[in-house]
Amino acid sequence: MKIKDDQKYDRLIQAAIALLATGGLANFSTTKVAKQAGIPQSNLYIYFKNKQALLDTVFQTTIHTQSVAVVAELDTAAPITIQLANSIKTLYRFSQEHPQIVATIQVLMADVQLKKHLHLKQDDHENQQIQTLLTDGLQAGILRSTDLNLIRYFLTRPVFNYAAGVQSGLYPDTAQGLTDLIQMIMGAILQPDVYQEWLS
């Protein structure tokens, strides 16, 4: 029985992220991942049962990395509205610093059929902390009464798209631009009266 090597495992994950970020799912295969990682394809199956298992792990890894970055900057003693606004700002910085991770999340989340089969790690405490923040905001009447997945969509996808637009030169990289983005997202997710109070 072959022994698993953490370095090879990490190389396979990073190779998968790079391929998804640059070529999307249409250009993705275990053969290409193994080649990019410099590892024989047969060895890839020591770490991952199949392509779906590899994609599942990549999804878990990228979401966890994003969640860790956001949670690290949250002040849990601050009001929920302040935490939410800060999470948007932090996610924007993360998107600027880790464009491949963000592009990979976008690719995986955009495929509706694949998304049904992707699972988050049950012990991803940072992601659960974000979920708890949103649940608390909903129960306190701070967030709009809608599905939490829709709230999470507004807290992430516009940020990802804006960051990509800044990187491509579509939008200028200005403090005012980020402020406008935060205000628009907060306007979408907060109850109208809470939003007006937050603005003032």
User: How much is the average pLDDT of 59-64?
Assistant: 94
Determine, yes or no, domain membership for 54. no
Same domain, 39 and 65: no
Secondary structure of 34-56 as H, E, C letters: HHHHCCCHHHHHHHCCCHHHHHH
Q: Pull the structure tokens for residue 190.
A: 């907060």
In this predicted structure, the answer to whether residue 3 has a pLDDT above a threshold of 80 is no
pLDDT for the residue 1: 41
Q: What is the mean pLDDT of the chain?
A: 93
Please give the tally of structural domains in the chain.
Answer: 2
pTM of the shown model: 0.90
Determine, yes or no, domain membership for 122. yes
pLDDT for the residue 65: 96
Determine, yes or no, domain membership for 44. yes
Same domain, 30 and 66: no
Better-predicted residue by pLDDT, 191 or 113:
191
User: How much is the average pLDDT of 158-176?
Assistant: 95
Same domain, 159 and 181: yes
pLDDT for the residue 116: 76
Determine, yes or no, domain membership for 177. yes
Same domain, 88 and 183: yes
Same domain, 40 and 133: no
Q: What is the CATH number of the domain that holds 158?
A: 1.10.357.10
pLDDT for the residue 123: 78
Query: 164 vs 16, 43, 197, CA distance in Å?
Result: 20, 35, 31
Tell me the pLDDT tens digit for each residue of 123-141: 789 999 999 999 999 999 9
Same domain, 76 and 43: no
Same domain, 96 and 19: no
Determine, yes or no, domain membership for 53. no
Domain that holds residue 10: 1-48
Same domain, 36 and 122: no
Tell me the pLDDT tens digit for each residue of 65-109: 999 999 999 999 999 999 999 999 999 999 999 999 999 999 998
In this predicted structure, the answer to whether residue 121 has a pLDDT above a threshold of 80 is no
User: How much is the average pLDDT of 11-40?
Assistant: 96
Same domain, 102 and 191: yes
- What share of the chain in percent tops pLDDT 90? 86
Determine, yes or no, domain membership for 150. yes
Query: 45 vs 52, 84, 119, CA distance in Å?
Result: 12, 40, 20
Tell me the pLDDT tens digit for each residue of 26-58: 999 999 999 999 999 999 999 999 999 999 999
Same domain, 175 and 88: yes
